Amino acid sequence: MQIFLARTQGFCAGVARAIEIVERALAAYGKPIYVFHEIVHNTSVVNDFKSRGVVFINEIADAPENSRIIFSAHGISPAILAYAKKKNLHTIDATCPLVTKVHLEAEKFSLEDIDVILIGHKGHEEVVGTSGHVKPELLHIVSNAADIDKLDIAPHKKVAFITQTTLSVDDTRELILKLRARFPRLTGPLRDDICYATQNRQDAIKELSKLCDMIIIAGSPNSSNSNRLREKGEQLGVKSIIVDNASQLDVNILNGKTRIGLSSGASVPRHLVDEIIAKIQNTFSDTTVTTFDNPEETIAFPLPRI
Ligand code: SF4
């Protein structure tokens, strides 16, 4: 059995920054620290913080007056910030700077009274947060080609698109082409808003798909970028599964396979990948592990004042 580790996987700079912000806030202020939504979409990370006094909430109303609250890496709408200030909460913003960049684009188009088409998954925290930066009457959320067909905007109107950061690069390119065909005056970012980490992890799956007869993704069920990695493997014709941790991996499905690709989403701690490797090695004692150079090692985002 051979395991090939994806070249780029695991924590991106935005996730590493968000986790470090919670760590520093805990060290500086002690528990409880409130976090609006999961700080990042990973069960292990969230459970570890919960055990150390971090309280995750989905409603600002659930944070007591004057308490300290951190906004997750996925970002928030201006209305949430205003409500938190009204409640006298001490706020710390862990929004990934690459999500903030999309917020600024959204605000710019909205201020110019341009209809904004947001390509993303309805209901995902990032999409909900970004939506709040656009005037409601100008906002259109699309997830697929059928949604584009249903758009009720005159073709001659100037419209702009923005995207969620963790989408499938290839699927999004198709959607943008469809938008361009329908709206000749379409404007937007140079290509899309998909971040470097999402792009690199999907590229690494393309590489693995040429080497492997099965791909395992470590990632939580609600992690957008992890799910896109599994889908990419399947699209390329390689059986691909996603597991939250090693205990979810049924090693029986590896019988008859000899070349396993292993990757992890941008919010997955390395120990979860190591535990999956150990479980495979316990069953298949001849397993070897091949690693590749990681081109992202030097990327880091500055921390806010805490
Ligand atoms: S996946 Fe991309 S946008 Fe999301 S936190 Fe990581 S770097 Fe930021």
Rounded distance, CA 190 to CA 99, Å?
16
Per CATH, the number for 98-182 is 3.40.1010.20
Q: Using H for helix, E for strand and C for coil, what is the string for 275-291? A: HHHHHHHHHCCCCEEEC
Q: Judge whether 245 and 45 are in contact, CB under 8 Å.
A: no
Average pLDDT, the chain: 97
Verify whether ligand 1 is closer than 6 Å to residue 39 (CB atom): no
Q: Judge whether 119 and 169 are in contact, CB under 8 Å.
A: no
Contacts of 282 (CB under 8 A, 6+ apart): none
Rounded distance, CA 180 to CA 74, Å?
27
Question: Has 38 been annotated as catalytic?
Answer: no
Stretch 158-173: mean pLDDT: 96
Verify whether ligand 1 is closer than 6 Å to residue 16 (CB atom): no
Stretch 130-134: mean pLDDT: 98
What's the pLDDT score for residue 44? 97
Tell me the CATH number of domain 13-96, given options 1.10.3210.10, 3.40.50.720, 3.40.50.2020, 3.40.50.11270: 3.40.50.11270
Stretch 66-89: mean pLDDT: 97
Stretch 239-250: mean pLDDT: 98
Type of residue found at 76: I
- CA-nearest of 222, 242, 244, 294 to 74 is 222
pLDDT band (50, 70, 90) for residue 167: very high
| 2 DSSP assignment | E
The answer to whether 2-11+196-290 and 98-182 have equal CATH topology is: yes
Domain segments of the chain: what residues? Answer: 2-11+196-290, 13-96, 98-182
18-51 confidence digits (pLDDT tens): 999 999 999 999 999 999 999 999 999 999 999 9
Q: 184: CA distance to ligand 1 center in Å?
A: 30
pLDDT band (50, 70, 90) for residue 155: confident
Torsions phi, psi for 154 (to 5 deg): -65, 135
Task: Look at the pTM and tell me if it is higher than 0.85.
Answer: yes
Q: What is the C-alpha R_g of the chain?
A: 21
- Read out DSSP for 204-247? HHHHHHHH-SEEEEE--TT-HHHHHHHHHHHHTT--EEEESSGG
Which residue(s) pair with 259 in the sheet?
Answer: 2
169-217 confidence digits (pLDDT tens): 999 999 999 999 999 999 999 889 999 999 999 999 999 999 999 999 9
Fold held by 2-11+196-290: Cobalt-precorrin-4 Transmethylase; domain 1 (3.40.1010)
Stretch 141-148: mean pLDDT: 98
pLDDT band (50, 70, 90) for residue 297: confident
Rounded distance, CA 102 to CA 189, Å?
9
Stretch 40-66: mean pLDDT: 97
89-115 confidence digits (pLDDT tens): 999 999 999 999 999 999 999 999 999
What's the pLDDT score for residue 156? 86
Q: 94: CA distance to ligand 1 center in Å?
A: 11
The protein residue with its alpha carbon nearest to ligand 1, atom 7, reads 14
Q: 228: CA distance to ligand 1 center in Å?
A: 14
Atom of ligand 1 nearest to the CA of 73: 5
* The one catalytic residue among 107, 126, 137, 297: 126
